[in-house]
Amino acid sequence: MYAREYISGLAGNLSARLPDGNLLVTPAGLPKNSLLVEDLLVVDIRGVKLAGAEHLHPTSELPMHLEVYQQRPEVGAVIHAHPVYCVALSMVGISLEVPFIPEALVMLGPIPTSQYATPSSEENRQAIAGLISNHDAIILAQHGSITVGQDLLQAYMRLETLEHTARTLALAYQLGEPSQLNMEAVEKLWALRNAPSS
């Protein structure tokens, strides 16, 4: 994530559900590009720290992560990042909910943008609460993204697809007026998204 500039400085946070139902989370205040295994913390589903270095605290975005796990029992991992193109598009009011790119529709479905909320606060939990039950990727207005998956790899792949989509769209808007996929194309892609994976 750091190498691809989806995060910078101390930004971004990740979590994964453990087999016993507790969560492995990244700590607040440490750069993600140099995290060590011993920096990771274990919290319960309410966010109470159970294990990890005494001087470290869970990510300040933990409430947002907990909201996902509480609403989505099938989700095994959550990633919050600050992808540049996603954030830039939200700043000028370009929505990723409009179907432009087939891969994005199949991988992510429609991508809503949540209302602006103060980063690292309870506000972010509230901002995604009404959206996360039926979306795997959400843009946090003026701030970043949240992607979820069965495991960290799937949540990360969704982040990559999300930012690639935003980047493509940003370029298209610089070149002209991007054309939307028509209804027939969208319906076919939607069937693909909902088909049982082999």
Site for Zn ion in 105-124 (CB under 5 A): 119
Q: Which residue of the set 54, 61, 123, 163 is catalytic?
A: 61
63 or 144: CB nearest Zn ion: 144
Q: Contact between 102 and Zn ion (CB under 5 A)? A: no
14 or 104: CB nearest Zn ion: 14
Q: Contact between 83 and Zn ion (CB under 5 A)? A: no
Site for Zn ion in 128-167 (CB under 5 A): 144
Contacts with 153 (C-beta within 8 Å, 6 or more apart), sequence order: none
Based on the residue annotation, tell me whether 184 is a catalytic residue of this protein. no
Q: What type of residue is 121?
A: S
105 or 124: CB nearest Zn ion: 124
Give me the least distance between CB of 5 and Zn ion, in Å please.
14
Which residues here bind Zn ion, judged by CB under 5 A? Answer: 119, 144
